[in-house]
């Protein structure tokens, strides 16, 4: 079944999932019971031997998030629909955790989507209440883990780029959550045809840090409507309202 005579390759299911994403998220506030606060858990594969490059890991995390948000299982009558919508329509939160060895293998058994990019792996899990996190995930931590930044050589023309504000000095866990927000926002802001084309290419994207001068240029793109920005609520690490990531679509 198709929904557009212009783009006959886009099926109704994808169009419905994209329409939901394009509506935005949040607005529902937090429940009175803290245990019912909704969050998407993200698992970053960071082995002791041969850890991935930071930007490659962030790109994998961003891709995993948007892939989950447009997965057929979160769509109408999908097995993840209720959990996904409960999270998306409340105050959005993401929590990044580290896994290695058996921990990483165990995380694959929890509902979600895994992405590999340039030797880095990340898994976005189906959201749920923070008081009911799978024990295999709850024991995982991210604190104390850091990866060296690298030059943006992984940026590929023809794919979106997520630019991180370098002056904020975000940890890899915080940055993973922020680029995950950015990939969601970017996909939702795209026309459905463009989002579908991105999906066909596996939602691949690049992540790099922007210095002061480049960040100023990127902010102009946001003001002009040609890029989208993430503004953080300020729960951790950065001040409320900080612009953390700017997502630029493929040129």
Check whether 159 has a pLDDT greater than 90: yes
pLDDT at 222: 97
Q: Residue 4: which pLDDT band, with cuts at 50, 70 and 90?
A: very low
Q: Please tell me the predicted confidence (pLDDT) of residue 248.
A: 97
pLDDT at position 156 is: 77
The two structure tokens encoding residue 170: 């975000």
The pLDDT tens digits for 220-248 are 999 999 999 999 776 677 767 889 999 99
Tally of residues, the chain: 251
- The pLDDT score that the predictor gives to residue 154 is 62
Mean pLDDT for the stretch of residues 32-50: 94
Note the pLDDT tens digit of each residue in 56-68: 999 999 999 999 9
Q: For the segment 84-103, what is each residue's pLDDT rounded down to a tens digit?
A: 999 999 888 999 999 999 99
**Rg over CA atoms, the chain:** 17
Q: From CA 126, how far away is CA 101, in angstroms rounded?
A: 22
3-state secondary structure the chain: CECCCCCCCCEHHHHHHHHHHHCCCCCCCCCCCHHHCEEEEEEEECCCCCCCCHHHHHHHHHHHHHHHHCCHHHCCCCCCHHHHHHHHCCCCCEEEEEECCHHHHHHCCCCEEEEEECCEEEEEECCEEHHHCCHHHHCCCCCCCCCCCCCCCCCCCCCCEEEEEHHHCCCHHHHHHHHHHHHHHHHHHCCHHHHHHHHHCCCCCEEEEECHHHHHHHHHHHHCCCCEEEECCCCCCCCCCCEEEEEECCC
pLDDT for 178 beyond 80? yes
State the chain's mean pLDDT as an integer: 90
Determine the average pLDDT of the residues in 115-128: 96
Residue 149: its pLDDT value, please? 65
- What's the average model confidence in pLDDT over 118-141? 96
Task: Answer positive or negative: Cα dihedral of 76, 82, 86, 87.
Answer: negative
- Spell out the domains of the chain, with CATH numbers in brackets: 12-248 (3.40.1490.10)
Q: What are phi and psi of 194, to 5 degrees?
A: -70, -40
């Amino acid at each position: 079944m198709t929904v557009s005579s212009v783009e006959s390759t886009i099926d109704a299911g994808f169009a419905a999932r994209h329409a939901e994403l394009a509506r935005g998220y949040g607005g529902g506030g937090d429940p009175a019971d803290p245990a019912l606060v909704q969050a998407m858990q993200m698992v970053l594969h960071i082995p002791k031997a041969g850890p991935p490059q930071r930007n490659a890991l962030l790109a994998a995390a961003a891709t995993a998030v948007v892939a989950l948000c447009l997965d057929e299982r979160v769509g109408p009558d999908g097995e993840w629909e209720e959990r996904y919508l409960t999270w998306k329509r409340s105050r959005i939160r993401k929590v990044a955790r580290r896994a290695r060895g058996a921990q990483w293998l165990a995380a694959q058994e929890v509902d979600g989507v895994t992405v590999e990019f340039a030797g880095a792996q990340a898994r976005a899990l189906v959201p749920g209440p923070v008081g009911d996190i799978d024990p295999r995930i709850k024991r995982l931590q991210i604190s104390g883990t850091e990866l060296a930044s690298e030059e943006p050589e992984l940026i590929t023309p023809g794919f979106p780029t997520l630019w991180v504000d370098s002056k904020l000095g975000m940890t890899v866990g915080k940055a993973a959550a922020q680029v995950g927000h950015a990939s969601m926002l970017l996909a939702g802001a795209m026309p459905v045809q463009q989002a579908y084309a991105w999906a066909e290419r596996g939602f691949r994207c690049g992540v790099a840090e922007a210095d002061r001068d480049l960040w100023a240029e990127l902010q102009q793109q946001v003001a002009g409507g040609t890029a989208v920005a993430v503004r953080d609520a300020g729960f951790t690490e950065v001040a409320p309202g900080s612009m953390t990531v700017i997502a630029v679509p493929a040129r």
